[in-house]
Amino acid sequence: MALRTLDSLGSLAGKTVVVRLDLNVPLKDGVITDDGRVRASLPTLNALLSQGARVVAISHLGRPDGAPDPKYSLAPVAVRLSELLGTPVAFASDTIGADAEAKVAALADGDVLVLENLRFNAEETSKDETTRAAFAAKLAAFGDVFVSDGFGVVHRKQASVYELAQALPSAAGLLIAAELDVLDRLTENPERPYTVVLGGSKVSDKLGVIGHLLPRVDALAIGGGMLFTFLAAQGHKVGSSLLEADQIDTVKGYLAKAEELGVEIVLPTDVVVAEKFGADAAHEVRAADDIEGSPWGSAGLGLDIGPETSAAFAAKITSAKTVFWNGPMGVFELAPFAAGTKAVAQALTEVDGLAVVGGGDSAAAVRALGFDDDQFGHISTGGGASLEFLEGKRLPGLEVLGWEASQ
């Protein structure tokens, strides 16, 4: 079976469409600091509105522990959505209560309504299928069809992702279809050379991805906090840098496997070492095999890849035809330790082929560092879902829409 797309639903004129989006944006004092996910929802919303559908948009935001919490309200998102769509967007102060019922009933063709945060209801993420199904049935009562377009949650069995897709005629939206197309190109016959750049804090978060992609790539570059476990696996001392000592043997196994497969592992040759964690910390560039030679000895901690490594990573990226990048190269939120991440991002904008920024912290980083989304081939909204896809795992939120994983 193939993924069911919008076309499978037929004409949506005059129908009420419940659409699951991923509007889980970062907020600071009630203000959206990165509206990337809101903008990513626009193609599907515009496609529905162009048909004259009545749209009921649902999403989660943050982790409010199953009860209303004003700091996780979707109200600011509804305002931003209205600005981006150029049309009024109504907002219900609850998810399945009296306000939601009244505002759904009042919808006319071409109207949009955002319901309050799904996770203000404990049933949304319940481990009990019957509880989730009962909540999904209440959401289903609001619509004629269901469109799933929150790629960032398709790896979860949650009421609005899984059971709701069973309760109504359902299909994937344009964002999910686009994400799957890109991820397929990263795993099935990618154009070569194929380079993957992995960063972020922990090796343990990326083990499945490394294992699944090693036989598929030509080069794997390692930065971020996870690089220190790789350096330790080679016998180097890493001072007080982030280290997962329990993963050293696993990393040694991957290094041996890469050599066996002929995959180039590109590790840092220099590191920015700091006296402490902070934007005002004294810091200097050290060779990767001499981190403890800094003035701070074993107390020094690596917070970014060095300039030599940045140049090497950039060269490896720009010479590739397919690139997937997930995870910052350093603590990009602190200006002295953002250069590595910026160099990698810049290199991705220069790729003559498919360059994919793998969502989550990587997407936040490129925007925070001043890049525009359209400078990249694709910025994934998937985060953990994208990584699980690249690990070859089953994704229940896609399977319920007819998709079958290819192992």
Whether pLDDT at 238 is above 60: yes
Catalytic position from the list 39, 157, 202, 257: 202
225 is in an annotated binding site: no
CATH of 6-177, one of 3.40.50.1260, 1.20.1630.10, 3.40.640.10, 3.40.50.300: 3.40.50.1260
**18 vs 65 pLDDT, higher one:** 18
What are the residues facing 273 on neighbouring strands?
A: 284, 302
333 is in an annotated binding site: yes
37 is in an annotated binding site: yes
362 is in an annotated binding site: yes
pLDDT at 291: 97
> Is residue 37 among the annotated active site residues?
yes
- For the chain, what percent of residues have pLDDT higher than 90? 85
61 is in an annotated binding site: yes
pLDDT tens, 133-142?
A: 999 999 999 9
Whether pLDDT at 149 is above 90: yes
pLDDT band at 127 (very low <50, low <70, confident <90, very high): very high
pLDDT band at 396 (very low <50, low <70, confident <90, very high): very high
Whether pLDDT at 407 is above 60: no
Residue with tokens 């030509």: 218
310 is in an annotated binding site: no
Mean pLDDT of 167-183: 95
Measured from the Cβ of residue 405, the count of other Cβ atoms closer than 10 Å reads 11
pTM of the model: 0.88
pLDDT at 205: 85
Whether pLDDT at 58 is above 80: yes
Catalytic position from the list 20, 37, 54, 367: 37
119 is in an annotated binding site: yes
For residue 27, the number of C-alpha atoms closer than 13 Å in the C-beta half-sphere is 18
Closest CA to 79 of 32, 133, 37, 34: 32
301 is in an annotated binding site: no
Closest CA to 176 of 154, 152, 198, 151: 151
Whether pLDDT at 36 is above 80: yes
CB 273 within 8 A of CB 305: no
pLDDT tens, 16-31?
A: 999 999 999 999 988 9
Give ranges for CATH 3.40.50.1260 in the chain.
6-177, 190-391
pLDDT tens, 246-298?
A: 999 999 999 999 999 999 999 999 999 999 999 999 999 999 999 999 999 99
Mean pLDDT of 173-180: 95
For domain 190-391, give the fold. Answer: Rossmann fold (3.40.50)
pLDDT band at 60 (very low <50, low <70, confident <90, very high): very high
22 is in an annotated binding site: yes
> Is residue 360 among the annotated active site residues?
yes
Catalytic position from the list 97, 384, 392, 402: 384
302 is in an annotated binding site: yes
- For the chain, what percent of residues have pLDDT higher than 70? 99
What are the residues facing 19 on neighbouring strands?
A: 57, 147
User: Judging by beta carbons within 10 Å of its beta carbon (0-12, 13-18, 19+), is residue 194 exposed, middle or buried?
Assistant: buried
pLDDT at 387: 85
pLDDT band at 391 (very low <50, low <70, confident <90, very high): confident
pLDDT tens, 207-227?
A: 888 998 999 999 999 999 999
Whether pLDDT at 1 is above 60: no
Measured from the Cβ of residue 208, the count of other Cβ atoms closer than 10 Å reads 15
Mean of the per-residue pLDDT values of the chain? 95
Mean pLDDT of 62-73: 94
pLDDT at 92: 98
pLDDT tens, 312-371?
A: 999 999 999 999 999 999 999 999 999 999 999 999 999 999 999 987 788 888 988 999
pLDDT at 208: 86
pLDDT tens, 2-14?
A: 899 999 999 999 9
39 is in an annotated binding site: no
360 is in an annotated binding site: yes
pLDDT at 406: 61
DSSP output for 18-37: EEE------EETTEES--HH
Catalytic position from the list 200, 340, 360, 383: 360
23 is in an annotated binding site: yes
